[in-house]
Amino acid sequence: MRSISNIMVYIIAILLFACSADSDNAEETLASYIKNKSIEKGGVIACAASDKDSEDILTFYYPEEGAVNIRYYETETIQVDNNDYSNYKQMEFPKSPVFNGYLGKFTHNASHEKWMIVTFELEGDIKISNPIRSKQISKPTVWNDEVVIDQSQSTMPVFNWINNPVGDNAIYFQVVTDVQNNLLSGTYTYENNFQYYNTSNVVLNVTRDTPPGLIIDNTYNFTLMDVSEDNWVNWVVEKTFQVQ
């Protein structure tokens, strides 16, 4: 009887371990994480680019004030339904601040392309980015400084860049920072130009406060991201300039 009892205990332990393992695996998926919870699809602004100095993928996101539990999910390949959240598993990759924490980014290396999603929690909701298609192999991000800065209107420079330079453009993201890399303005346009600080052609604005006026002879930085419909950054411009 004792041996039968021991066998039963052993079987129960195996079953409990198996159930626990299944539960752990289920928790890795985005579908399991959001099950029976309030969600907002498209609630996280995010995109990704290949790094200019390495083979890493940089997944950028805009964390709204108060955002907590920021997570990164990815599929195993691109040959899956990118709208099926059960295909996305959470991954623990290093994250770091961009523009002194105004944005954030996850950094990792991958030998193949995939779909990626960033989530965070805010005021009781789980906000979910649109799927991001990595193209670090098929269409690596081009980094350059190709922007024309027209300063004919003092302290209100106009930035002009090549329209849809490598194809597949959906929107442009522009950032102006000071010499300490603090973000002064963050805007999106469909047009290939932006004036600091004129929002007449801005279609999305992530600038939290009224931007300060630029100071003559001070140095600033301009960053541009050419983003595709599937949220891959085709082209990045980085340019330092002195205000006239």
DSSP calls for 91-114: E---EEEETTTTEEEEEEE-SS--
pLDDT at 7: 40
pLDDT at 28: 86
Find where tokens 């004036």 sit: 195
Report the C-alpha gap between 156 and 224 in whole angstroms.
17
Could you give the strand order of the β-sheet that contains 56-61, starting from the edge strand earlier in sequence? 46-50, 56-61, 103-109, 95-98
pLDDT beneath 50: ranges in the chain: 1-26
pLDDT at 11: 38
Decide: 193 and 161 in contact? Cβ < 8 Å: yes
pLDDT at 156: 98
The candidate with the shortest Cα–Cα distance to 187, out of 178, 179, 195, is 195
pLDDT at 243: 98
Residue 18 CB partners (closer than 8 Å, separation 6+): none
Q: Is the pTM of this model over 0.85?
A: yes
Amino acid at 26: A
Task: Report the relative pairing of strands 158-160 and 233-242 from DSSP bridges.
Answer: unpaired
Report the C-alpha gap between 66 and 152 in whole angstroms.
40
pLDDT at 17: 40
